[in-house]
Amino acid sequence: MKLRLENVQKSFGQTKVLDGISLEVAQGEMLCLIGASGSGKSTLLRCINLLEPLDDGAIWLDGIDIAEPSLDPQPIRQRIGIVFQSFNLFPHMTAEENVMLAPRRIHRKTRDQLRQPIAELFDRFGLRDHMNRYPDQLSGGQQQRVAIVRALAMKPDIMLFDEITSALDPELVGEVLEVLKSLKTEGMTMIMATHEMDFAREVADNICFLDQGRILEQGPPQQIFAAPKQMRTRDFLGRVLGAHKG
């Protein structure tokens, strides 16, 4: 699995949201996107998942340009899981049904065939007792973990995480980040937009700093956090880390 973005361009009306993004993610790599709100992190992830069409540029997934507008997005989306800030579980289904829906419809598997592997997934993330609950009966952290399980059930090649801890109470952030760490040890390829700088520093292989739709600086976390080259990166980190340390 290899993902490569080439000069990705996206505008909403007159506003340029992504202005020539190029980057590469290797198999098993975790890439963290950091940057201020509105810098284009979320839009970039939604473009990779084809929820937003690109204006220009290319996205190569294993040698295929998935940004080709005439391609059917469905089979591509099945290979790219995404988890959103606001969970977006289906409120009328139990946690288990949320996870089962896509494999049932797409892989044409029966509930009976799916029950065992899905129970194991719930088990792995400490959600066994919550399988038959509805989303509004779960805490934010539990809902977000179910959303991760839902995406994983499709066995994607790469997972995208769009500020998945931003809507959580502080005491629930940890349990969700733990899930990402365990995915990382299993070799999952991941791109994560985040404001959790400590987590990015500890877990990411590479960091991209986005500013006004461009990648201003990228590199391994030691370099970005310890010795940022760009003034704007330094400013941004100074602000978020300063605020964080109180």
The contact set with another protein (CB under 8 A) reads 49, 51, 73-78, 80-82, 84, 86, 88-92, 101-102, 105-106, 150-151, 154
Q: Contact, 162 vs 82, CB < 8 A?
A: yes
d(CA 125, CA 128): 8
Provide the 10 A C-beta neighbour count for residue 37. 9
Of 144 and 233, which CB lies nearer to another protein in the complex structure? 144
Nearest to 97 by CA among 131, 121, 130, 67: 131
Nearer to another protein by Cβ, of 160 and 203: the residue is 160
Kindly tell me which of 99 and 215 has the beta carbon lying closer to another protein.
Answer: 99
Beta-carbon contacts of 166 under 8 Å, excluding residues fewer than 6 positions away, are: 85, 195
Q: How far is the CB of 189 from another protein (least distance, A)?
A: 16
Among residues 92 and 245, whose Cβ is nearest to another protein?
92
Q: How far is CA 9 from CA 44, 77, 82, 101, in A?
A: 9, 20, 20, 33
Based on CB atoms, which residue is closest to another protein, 5 or 80? 80
- The long-range contacts involving 225-230, CB below 8 angstroms and separated by at least 24 positions, are 225/197, 225/201
> Closest Cα partner for 192 from 81, 45, 60, 88?
45
Q: Parallel, antiparallel, or unpaired: how do β-strands 56-61 and 64-65 relate?
A: antiparallel
Q: Select 75 or 220, whichever has its Cβ closest to another protein.
A: 75
Residue 74 CB, shortest distance to another protein, in Å, is: 5
In angstroms, what is the C-alpha Rg of the chain? 18
